[in-house]
Amino acid sequence: MLQAIELTKKYGDQVALNGLNLTIQPGEVFCLLGQNGAGKTTTINLFLGFTGASSGQALVNGILVSPDQPQTRKFLAYIPEVVMLYANLTSLENLDFFSRIAGFNYKKETLETYLLQAGLQPEAFHKRIGNYSKGMRQKVGIAIAVAKNAAVILMDEPTSGLDPKATHEFSEIVKQLSQDGRTVFMATHDIFNAVNVGTRIGIMRQGSLIHTLNAKDISANDLQKLYLETI
């Protein structure tokens, strides 16, 4: 679903991403670790087509990503660290609005089902988003991604600022997304969560992918040790 071929991004003399080669299959949860500035967000932005590559290729479902021809975005949903929603609208209203933008017109009952599947409690459906916690906003973001039928969900620091309960709930939702066949690409600092939900884990340093490993083959403690040795 996602492929990078010698993908490189430069800003002047600064190399933000250096010859990334990566293939992510349907249903995978790929967790990308690295310090701030390592190239994680740049990678996401290149797949989204928010910025163009200096060289190399980014492909989504075999289609070349281009900022000028955003046909790949129909396969994608993006959940940033802070999910941007309309604060004066309820979760139902936000979900309905963003679904319609994506070309879907759902009945109220279907919208409620998507919110329930994302882990949002029914009593919150009619409350304004401005009163939501970060974890609740993320659940609405996931509901929007599922409602627009995104095959790939890109996430940037999704567990940052979440308490342990909210992090656990989020992890269970991500596992369900994977079981449903959706691909998740997650840039994160959360080593424990990467081991818990990831299929594979990558470690970046200064724009280069240094390690790629199977999550089931490493413990959180060993991953932390490898991460600290790498950065």
Report the CATH number at residue 204: 3.40.50.300
Q: Give all strands of the β-sheet with 76-79 in edge-to-edge order.
A: 76-79, 152-156, 183-188, 29-33, 200-205, 208-214
**pLDDT number for residue 164:** 87
**pLDDT number for residue 31:** 98
Q: How far is the C-alpha of 145 from the C-alpha of 210, rounded, in Å?
A: 30
Domain around 136: 2-230
Q: Using one digit for the tens of pLDDT, what is the confidence trace for 172-220?
A: 989 999 999 999 999 999 999 999 999 999 999 999 999 999 999 999 9
How many domains is the chain built from?
1
Q: Are 4 and 159 in contact (CB under 8 A)?
A: no
57-to-23, 60, 214 alpha-carbon distances in Å: 12, 10, 24
Q: Using one digit for the tens of pLDDT, what is the confidence trace for 125-174?
A: 999 999 999 889 999 999 999 999 999 999 999 888 888 888 888 899 89
Q: Is the pTM of this model over 0.85?
A: yes
Q: Using one digit for the tens of pLDDT, what is the confidence trace for 61-103?
A: 999 998 888 889 889 999 988 889 999 999 999 999 999 999 9
